[in-house]
Amino acid sequence: MFDIGFWELALIGLVALVVVGPERLPKLARMAGLWLGRGRRMLSSVKEEIDRELKAEELKQILNKQAQANPLETILDESPGRSTPVGTSAATDPSGGAKDRPKEESKDRPQ
């Protein structure tokens, strides 16, 4: 951002020492550091908020583009391996899915 070297900082410190005085210079440096930290935190929070908004807008655009290109109903209708219609479930199947499972033997029946 700024190209400030050692000699420039030394010159600023010397001018501040002459203008402010040795008694108030540490207090001034502390206050300057606090204000600089507040400014950096504020700038960082604004930058993060802008990034979040841009990502949210980009996500909205992607979702809208996908919704226009391939609506959910089309995806559900074209899904491979769907044996039951969308509104029904396997629990309403008359066989109850028992043909896929082996029969369990009862423990209380003698063999």
Task: Tell me the per-residue pLDDT of 14-51, one tens digit each, with 9 for 90 and over.
Answer: 999 999 999 999 999 999 999 999 999 999 999 999 99
Reply yes or no on whether the pLDDT at 74 is more than 80.
no
Q: What is the pLDDT of residue 102?
A: 54
Question: Is 19 within the bounds of a domain?
Answer: yes
pTM over 0.95: no
Question: Is 17 within the bounds of a domain?
Answer: yes
Domain limits for position 21: 8-77
Distance CA 42, CA 37 (A): 9
Whether the Cβ atoms of residue 84 and residue 93 lie closer than 8 Å to each other: yes
Question: Is 3 within the bounds of a domain?
Answer: no
Reply yes or no on whether the pLDDT at 53 is more than 70.
yes
Residues 6+ apart with CB under 8 A from 82: 76
Q: What's the number of domains the chain is made of?
A: 1
What tokens appear for 111 in the block?
């063999």
Question: Is 21 within the bounds of a domain?
Answer: yes
Select from 86, 68, 67 the least CA-distant residue to 78. Answer: 86
| pLDDT, averaged across the chain | 78
Question: Is 83 within the bounds of a domain?
Answer: no
Question: Is 45 within the bounds of a domain?
Answer: yes
Reply yes or no on whether the pLDDT at 94 is more than 60.
no
